[in-house]
């Protein structure tokens, strides 16, 4: 397939220079279904991006689309702030029965606003309110959002610089394997906590991604996460798991922390929680942490009722019988076999991942961007991640068929060979 870049005149002349994804994928997309997008010229692309993890169930999933259309056609509530609505009730009951109760999770549910960074801001604010302390510990290569509080616990220097002001009350610590196994886990962190001369203000909380997506697909070991939870308990710190990109089944279980057997104090969800790509986020926390005053944290678009409808439909369709986790893990094994073959052929490449999130890292950071560019020419959408964009990131829909997954993996292997 030969793709001719379109004339992007109005995008180039009117839209801000801040735009990014459209630069790597110079096409004007028009339709999408399942794991494929089609541009206005009729070219088809296999999607290994999935709306940055917002489309775990694919584009225009027919089950979710039907529920949404039916709701709109009966003039269901669209904008509801935090009013009680039938759509919100249906979502809360489904979330409780399908997700929380089977996992024995006691969480209260907060609707903080439509985006992931809204959920993170709420989590940070709540932790500080509960503990009466300001400092929050995050980890090297973390990404938690683009608003100021979230940026303060984000590691990427380029994104932090965009704030334009000092980012305070956040302290970075080494993520799992940051020192290539040469330093015992949490040696530095615990020493600082116990040393009255360290200069570290005692943190209210620790925020962590179990798999760092934007940071380069860095996968925390289950034992590291368990040790982190134990440290938090011993040192009177709340544990916040940011599951915005890795939750909703991306790593296998509905929550990415399930494999480690931990129960975070606070969990943030967004991206695929609506199931359809509609803006929605949740902040979950243990009942004893629910110290909010009415209206103390709010947002105009925290009551996106169409998102509640598709979210409930997604839970009913994909999480009521336990099959989605098994399917995702099976698809993950399919990816891993291809990654092994690619790295066996190219000794400058390494891979890592869980479930259906994988990263292919190259010694030459520029190689990852070249692979993604060639993959686009071949009809496959991929993005890079990592502090130097040195990792090719695979994030296909969880509903992708084995045949589509194989097609995309073959295209990836070809792109790697042709950029060697």
The structure tokens listed for 102 are 């089977």
**Local confidence band at 8 (pLDDT 50, 70, 90 cut-offs):** low
The structure tokens listed for 288 are 């004893």
pLDDT in tens, 223-278: 999 999 999 999 999 999 999 999 999 999 999 999 999 999 999 999 999 999 99
Mean pLDDT of all residues belonging to the chain:
96
- Quick one: which of 373, 382, 369 has its CA closest to 408? 382
pLDDT of residue 15: 94
Phi, psi (5° rounding) for residue 211? -130, 120
Query: Are 155 and 141 within 8 A, CB to CB?
Result: yes
pLDDT in tens, 22-52: 999 999 999 999 999 999 999 999 999 999 9
pLDDT in tens, 310-359: 999 999 999 999 899 999 999 999 999 999 999 999 999 999 999 999 99
Report the 3 state secondary structure along the chain.
Answer: CCCCCCCCHHHHHHCCCCCCHHHHCCCCEEEEEECEEEECCCCEEEECCHHHHCCCCCECCHHHHHHHHHHHHCCCCCECCCCCCHHHHHHHHHHHHHHHHHHCCCCEEECCCCCHHHHHHHHHHHHHHHHCCCCEEEECCCCCCCCHHHHHCCCCHHHHHCCCCCCCCEEEECCCCCCCCCCCCCHHHHHHHHCCCCCCCCCCEEEECCEECCCCCEECCHHHHHHHHHHHHHCCCEEEEECCCCCCCCCCCCCCCHHHCCCCCEEEECHHHCCCCCCCCEEEECHHHCCCCCCCCCCCCCCEHHHHHHHHHHHHHHCCCCHHHHHHHHHHHHHHHHHHHHHHHCCCEEEEEECCEEEEEECCHHHHHHHHHHHHHCCEECEEECCCCCEEEECCCCCCCHHHHHHHHHHHHHHHHHCC
Strands across the sheet containing 349-354: 349-354, 357-362, 391-394, 383-385
**Local confidence band at 300 (pLDDT 50, 70, 90 cut-offs):** very high
**Local confidence band at 9 (pLDDT 50, 70, 90 cut-offs):** confident
Query: Are 204 and 131 within 8 A, CB to CB?
Result: yes
How far, CA to CA in Å, does 413 sit from each of 337, 392, 417? 12, 12, 6
pLDDT of residue 379: 98
pTM: 0.96
Has residue 2 got a pLDDT over 70?
Answer: no
User: What gap in Å lies between CA 120 and CA 301, rounded to an integer?
Assistant: 16
Q: Which residues pair with 353 in a beta bridge?
A: 358
Residue 416 burial class via C-beta count within 10 angstroms: exposed 0-12, middle 13-18, buried 19 and up: buried
CA 374 to chain centre: 25
Query: Are 206 and 175 within 8 A, CB to CB?
Result: no
């Amino acid at each position: 397939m030969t793709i001719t870049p379109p004339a992007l005149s109005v995008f180039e002349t009117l839209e801000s220079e801040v735009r990014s994804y459209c630069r790597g994928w110079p096409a004007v997309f028009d339709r999408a279904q399942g794991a494929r997008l089609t541009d206005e010229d009729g070219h088809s692309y296999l999607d290994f991006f999935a709306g940055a993890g917002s489309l775990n169930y694919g584009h225009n999933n027919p089950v979710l689309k039907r529920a949404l259309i039916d709701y709109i056609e009966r003039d269901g509530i669209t904008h509801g702030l935090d009013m009680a609505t039938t759509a919100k009730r249906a979502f809360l009951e489904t979330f409780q029965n399908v997700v929380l109760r089977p996992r024995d999770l006691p969480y209260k549910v907060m609707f903080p606003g439509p985006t992931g960074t809204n959920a993170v801001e709420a989590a940070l604010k709540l932790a500080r309110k509960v503990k009466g302390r300001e400092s929050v510990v995050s980890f090297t290569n973390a990404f938690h959002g683009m608003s100021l509080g979230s940026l303060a616990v984000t590691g990427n220097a380029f994104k932090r610089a965009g704030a334009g002001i000092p980012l305070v009350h956040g302290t970075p610590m080494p993520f799992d394997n940051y020192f290539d196994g040469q330093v015992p886990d949490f040696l530095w962190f615990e020493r600082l906590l116990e040393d009255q001369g360290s200069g570290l203000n005692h943190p209210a909380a620790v925020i962590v991604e179990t798999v760092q997506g934007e940071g380069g697909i860095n996968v925390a070991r289950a034992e590291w996460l368990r040790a982190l939870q134990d440290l938090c308990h011993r040192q009177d710190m709340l544990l916040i798991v940011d599951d915005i990109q890795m939750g909703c089944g991306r790593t296998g279980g509905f929550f990415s922390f399930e494999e480690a057997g931990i129960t975070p104090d606070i969990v943030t969800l967004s991206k695929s929680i609506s199931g359809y790509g509609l803006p929605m986020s949740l902040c979950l926390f243990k009942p004893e942490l629910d110290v909010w005053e009415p209206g103390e944290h709010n947002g105009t678009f925290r009551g996106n009722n169409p998102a509640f409808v598709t979210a409930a439909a997604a839970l009913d369709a994909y999480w009521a019988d336990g099959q989605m986790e098994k399917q995702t893990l099976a698809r993950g094994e399919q990816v891993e076999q291809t990654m092994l073959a690619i790295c066996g052929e190219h000794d400058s490449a390494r891979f890592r991942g869980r479930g259906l999130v994988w990263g292919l890292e190259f010694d030459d950071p520029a190689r990852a961007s070249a692979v993604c560019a060639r993959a686009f020419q071949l009809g496959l959408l991929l993005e890079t991640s990592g502090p130097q964009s040195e990792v090719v990131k695979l994030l296909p829909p969880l509903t992708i068929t084995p045949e589509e997954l194989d097609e995309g993996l073959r295209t990836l292997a070809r792109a790697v060979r042709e950029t060697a």
